[in-house]
Amino acid sequence: MEYAVPDPQDVTAAQDPLERARQINALIDDHQMAIAELSRERRELFEGLLHDGKMTQLQIAEKLGMSRSRVSQLLSAGVRPERALLGSGRLTVAIGGKHETGRPDGKPLAVLSAEALAAYDRLAQLTRSVGLSADHEIVPPPGMVKLNRPNLIVLTSPRLLPFVGQVLEADEHLGFAVDERGWYLIDKNAGKEYRSPSDSGEPVDYAYIGRLPRPDGKGTFLYLAGIHGPGTAGAAHYLEGHLAEIYREVRGRRWSALITCSFDPATRQITSSELLTPIYRPDGA
C-alpha cells in the first residue's frame, strides 16, 4: 500500500483554524499508524529471515545498506509483529447485547453481560499493550451486526448474533449448533460435540475463537464467543496469554480453535484457559 503525504496547505479550504487543526491532527494520526504498520512488517520480515536461518543480522545489514547495530535496534524496537493478529488500525469491538427488562420507563435498552464487558476490558488492555486502541459498540437484539468493515472484533455467541452464525458455516472445522438441550460447540473433524460443563454446575465453559471471512469477501474479522458468558471472557483470557504464540502459527491466515476455561463460581472471574482442540486453518489459507 502506498501512502502519499499531503501538503498541509492542501488539507482543507476552510478558514476556521479549529477545523483545520482537527483535520491536520487526523492526518498525522493516520500517517503515524501507517508508519507503525510498516515498521511492524519490516520487523516481522527481519525476524523471519533470521528465524529460518536464511541470513544473519550482518548479512541483512549489508544487503540493506545499514549497520548491524541498526538492524539489531529495529529488531528490538517498534511494533510487535503479533499485533497483526488483532488488526492494523483502531479496533471496533462489536458485542451482542440483551434487552434489559423491568425498566421504570418501560423502554427496551440493550445491555451487556458482566462477562462480555470483562472480555472487552481484557481485549482493550491487550490492544493497548501492542500499540493499538479499541472502542466498543453494543449490538442490540436481534443482533444485526455490521461485519463488512476493517479492524473488527466480534464478541458473544450466535444466540445473540444470529448473522454471525451464518458466517460460521464457512468454517469447515468448527462451529456452533443448537438443539432442545441448548447451544453447544462441534469439532467437525473429530465428529465431537462439546457441551458446556457449566450446564451441569461445574465452573467450566467452552468457547470458539478464530478469524472468519467477511460476507463481502474483502477481509476477515476476529470472533470470540463462549457457549455461555464465562466462555467469552475465557476466550479473551486465552488470546491475551497466547497472542504471540498464535500469531507465529497462523500469521495473517484464517484460523479457528476451541478453548476451555475455568472460572470462580462466586466472582465469575476466569482462573485459567487452554486449547480444547488444535488450531485449525482452512485448506489453502
Amino acid at 4: A
List the pLDDT tens digit at each of the 285 positions of the chain: 334 444 555 555 556 777 777 777 777 766 766 666 677 677 767 777 877 678 888 888 888 888 888 877 777 665 677 888 999 889 999 999 998 775 666 666 789 999 999 999 999 999 998 888 999 999 999 999 999 999 999 999 999 999 999 999 999 999 999 999 999 999 999 999 999 999 999 999 999 999 999 999 999 999 999 999 999 999 999 999 999 999 989 988 899 999 999 999 999 999 999 999 999 998 755
C-alpha cell at 223: 470472533
The answer to whether domain 85-275 has CATH 2.60.40.10 is: no
- Can you tell me whether residue 84 is helix, strand or coil? helix
Q: Are 208 and 279 in contact (CB under 8 A)?
A: no
How much is the pLDDT for 285? 56
How much is the pLDDT for 4? 47
Residues sharing a CB contact under 8 Å with residue 164, sequence separation 6 or more, in sequence order? 143, 145, 147, 154, 158, 212, 223, 225
How much is the pLDDT for 1? 36
